[in-house]
Amino acid sequence: MAITNGGSVDHATAKNRVVYSSFNLWSGFLFGLGFAAFVDESVFHQLLHWHHFYDKSTTDVGLVSDGIFHAFSWFATVGSLFMYANLRRRKGLWPKRWIGGAFLGAGSFQLYDGLIQHKVMKLHQIRYEVDLFMYDVVWNASALILMAVGVILVLQTRRTSTKAKAER
Amino acid sequence: MQHSAHTEQLAIEPLYMTMMLIGVLLYIAAVLRSNKKLRPWPWHRTVFWCAGIISIALSLEGPLAVQSHINFIAHMAGHLLLGMLAPLLIALAAPMTLVFRILSIPSARRLTRLLKSRPFFLLSHPVTAALLNIGGLYVLYTTDFYMAMHHNLFLEMLVHVHIFLAGYLFTVSIIYIDPIAHRFSFIYRAIVLMLALAAHGILAKYIYAHPPTGVPREEAEAGGMLMYYGGDAIDLILITILCYHWYRTSRPRMAGAGEIK
């Protein structure tokens, strides 16, 4: 694991990483979630105009879910960056674990958006006046890939964190 | 009706204008007085105050105010200025801190006692403030209140006062620029702010889909989107300030405390 986690980090940083292990994961997760929501908003709503602001088939619970998710992701983007700054200030940043969290967060948002919000709550579809099937498949498969990358990175860093604990 | 409301609007403008001017002069007088005794009042606070007053003025008089009677998009722009941007700027001007700097000690004590009283606590509670702020908007846009407001000048003034005061109350209950009697934890305020932002966005989309009585569909759609994204923009500033305050207070206390044992 020495290559991936920078075997060159000094002892204090290695210890801080373990102390702030879950803080790294959460900061990354929230950033990934916020970033995915931001891409969704700026690329699919504003630039491509594929997504619609409102769709007549939106259920009431969909409207509420969208409102809460939108607000939460807005908050998460800003909050996670301050958490990142806090980790750096405390010399506890663990880049690999943070990035793993970000992949996990982005994938989770993508999957929730693609399955629950688009399909169950019918908030809006990915694109209009096209055959949706392939779009849905690509959307949700990309979500699963993001999540898988995230899970691998997080598991890898967990192994070293337990090892570091054992060494202490 | 439209015409009479417009004439009344013109009649009320000098009153609004005078109040804004008095607001600016009072603040500057207080700054000058405070600077005689204490270290200089930060100039950027005065800038925030003037910008806040200008935001209020823009929403209450001039072309935007006239348009807002006949156009829902202009009305919504005015609402963002009066209910969100102006309260934020006024809060950043720290008016309560300035008041405490120029008051005599006995008067300052009396004011503190008032601010610590139970009614004030309930009013400035983040949840109460959020309900007054967002709840007021729901009443305005989902009932016939919006229509009634345009036919009654007194009602309209009341709505303006409420939108600004509720917006200010909410802002100061979330970000602590001025000293505050009852403080709530960062996470508590973060959750209230998030839910209020969500409710604001939900109402914006609701307006998009269900135009208030008397509002044409295209105007409701554009107005709803302006409310949604405009609210996001101003709330982004609130979120950043709140998170920055957290970042500042959670700094490592001791030298070398960067490495926690």
Which site among A10, A41, A72, A82 would you substitute to test the B interface, given the most B Cβ atoms closer than 10 Å to its Cβ?
A82
Delimit the domains of chain A by residue range: 11-167
Residue B70 clears pLDDT 80, i.e. is over it: yes
Q: How many CB pairs under 8 A join A and B?
A: 77
Write the DSSP string, B60-72: HSSHHHHHTTT-H
More confident call, A167 vs B189: B189
The pLDDT mean for chain B works out to 89
Instruction: Name the pLDDT band for B62 (thresholds 50, 70, 90).
Output: confident
Residue B6 clears pLDDT 90, i.e. is over it: no
Inter-residue contact B67 to B21 (CB < 8 Å):
no
Q: How many CA atoms lie within 13 A of B205 on its CB side?
A: 24
Cross-chain Cβ contact B235/A91 below 8 Å: no
pLDDT at A55 (0 to 100): 74
The pLDDT mean for chain A works out to 82
d(CA B168, CA B83): 8
Instruction: Name the pLDDT band for A162 (thresholds 50, 70, 90).
Output: low
Q: What is the DSSP letter of A123?
A: -
Q: Per-residue pLDDT averaged across A1-11, rounded?
A: 55
Inter-residue contact B70 to B2 (CB < 8 Å):
yes
pLDDT in tens, A33-75: 999 988 888 777 777 777 778 777 777 888 888 889 899 999 9
Residue B231 clears pLDDT 90, i.e. is over it: yes
Residues of A engaging B, defined by a Cβ cutoff of 8 Å: 12, 15-16, 19, 53-54, 56, 58, 63-64, 66-68, 70-72, 74-75, 78-79, 82, 85-86, 89-92
Which site among B175, B194, B237 would you substitute to test the A interface, given the most A Cβ atoms closer than 10 Å to its Cβ?
B194
Cβ neighbours of A58 in B, within 8 Å: 209
Task: Please name the member of A53, A64, A82 whose beta carbon is closest to the beta carbon of B246.
Answer: A82
More confident call, B86 vs A158: B86
Q: How far is CA B219 from CA B57, B71, B196, B207, in A?
A: 23, 7, 24, 10
Residue A167 clears pLDDT 70, i.e. is over it: no
Residue A163 clears pLDDT 80, i.e. is over it: no
Q: Give φ, ψ of B258 to 5 degrees.
A: -55, -35
- Among the ranges given (A41-55, B1-15, B120-134), the one the predictor scored with the smallest mean pLDDT: B1-15
Cross-chain Cβ contact B243/A54 below 8 Å: no
Sorted by sequence, the CB contacts under 8 Å of residue B77 that are 6+ apart come out as B59, B64, B68, B226, B230
pLDDT at B138 (0 to 100): 92
Helix (H, G, I), strand (E, B) or coil at A92: coil
pLDDT at B191 (0 to 100): 96
Tokens representing residue B49 in the block: 């105050």
pLDDT in tens, B95-109: 999 999 999 899 999
Q: Per-residue pLDDT averaged across B36-63, rounded?
A: 93
More confident call, B194 vs B67: B194
Residue B196: CB atoms within 10 A of its CB come to 23
Tokens representing residue B224 in the block: 């709803």
pLDDT in tens, B137-183: 999 998 888 888 888 888 888 999 999 999 999 999 999 999 888 88
Q: Per-residue pLDDT averaged across B188-204, rounded?
A: 95
Inter-residue contact A101 to A156 (CB < 8 Å):
no
Task: Please name the member of A12, A63, A79 whose beta carbon is closest to the beta carbon of B202.
Answer: A63
Task: Please name the member of B194, B206, B240 whose beta carbon is closest to the beta carbon of A71.
Answer: B194
Model ipTM value: 0.83
Task: Please name the member of A12, A54, A70 whose beta carbon is closest to the beta carbon of B198.
Answer: A70
Q: What percent of chain A has pLDDT over 70?
A: 89
* Greatest alpha-carbon span in chain A: 60
Closest approach of A147 to chain B, Cα-based (Å) = 25
Residue B135: CB atoms within 10 A of its CB come to 13
Instruction: Name the pLDDT band for B260 (thresholds 50, 70, 90).
Output: very low
Instruction: Name the pLDDT band for B258 (thresholds 50, 70, 90).
Output: very low
Q: How many CA atoms lie within 13 A of B197 on its CB side?
A: 29
Q: Per-residue pLDDT averaged across A134-155, rounded?
A: 87
Q: Per-residue pLDDT averaged across A75-97, rounded?
A: 93
